[in-house]
């Protein structure tokens, strides 16, 4: 069985991530989405909230499982007996960062490859920070994120308005 891990902060999951997932799910037997607590990023959603939103948004993809991890990605890959890491590539600006991470991971665990999945052209401009920022100033991001995420962002927006009024 060919198992791949798709790691990321997913704060929150976007339609761009779903696109990468749908494409990868046709290549691998099982995809494990690994939600990471990234210490360098201040999260809007808790790990549980992110996992719950991913579960609902990816329910239509049968071979996807969702989990969280902390620590070294390489150890998690060994634990899950994965043969690959999936990363989405939007534009050339992602490339340098992703290549760097892929090289570090290869150094740590040479037998595992990073597979870059290119985004659909409709999603190359989407990022989690972008949708958070836009929704926090009242923009409609319904076309950029799954419905459950749209709802959650609206609730955060409403909560921020009531705090300032
Ligand atoms: N659609 C939408 N957004 C996309 C995207 C796509 N196709 N591809 C990338 N992105 C965006 C994400 O939304 C995210 O946006 P944000 O910065 O606004 O939140 C950004 O690109 C990339 O973030 P993410 O995928 O969450 O990765 P990351 O850089 O936060 O974390 C890990 C990368 C988790 C894989 C890495 O930090 C890791 O492996 N950590 C474990 C520790 C470790 O082993 N380190 C050694 C290896 S480097």
Annotation marks residue 128 as catalytic: yes
- The kind and range of the H/E element at 5 are strand 3-8
What pLDDT is recorded for position 162? 73
Q: Is 165 a residue whose pLDDT tops 70?
A: no
pLDDT digits (tens, 9 = 90+) for 78-103: 999 999 999 999 988 889 999 999 99
Domains along the sequence of the chain with CATH: 3-124 (3.40.50.620)
Q: Which member of 25, 57, 119, 128 is catalytic?
A: 128
Q: What average pLDDT does the structure give for the chain? A: 94
Give the confidence band of 158 by pLDDT, cuts at 50, 70, 90. confident
| Neighbour-count burial for 48-84, b at 16+ CB within 10 Å, e otherwise | eebbebbeebbeeeeebebeebeeebbebbeebebbb
Annotation marks residue 41 as catalytic: yes
What pLDDT is recorded for position 163? 67
């Amino acid at each position: 069985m060919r198992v791949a891990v798709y790691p990321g902060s997913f704060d929150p999951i976007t339609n761009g991530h779903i696109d990468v997932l749908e494409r990868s799910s046709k290549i691998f037997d099982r995809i494990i989405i690994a939600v990471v607590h990234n210490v360098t990023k201040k999260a809007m959603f808790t790990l549980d909230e992110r996992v719950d939103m991913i579960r609902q948004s990816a329910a239509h993809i049968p071979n996807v499982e969702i989990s969280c991890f902390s620590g070294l990605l390489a150890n998690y890959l060994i634990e899950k007996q994965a043969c690959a890491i999936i990363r989405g590539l939007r534009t050339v600006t992602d490339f340098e960062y992703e290549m760097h991470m892929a090289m570090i991971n290869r150094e740590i665990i040479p037998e595992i490859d990073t597979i870059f999945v290119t985004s659909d052209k409709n999603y190359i401009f989407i990022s989690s920070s972008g949708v958070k920022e836009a929704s926090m100033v009242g923009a409609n991001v319904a076309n950029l994120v799954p419905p459950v995420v749209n709802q959650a962002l609206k609730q955060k927006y409403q909560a921020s308005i009531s705090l300032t009024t």
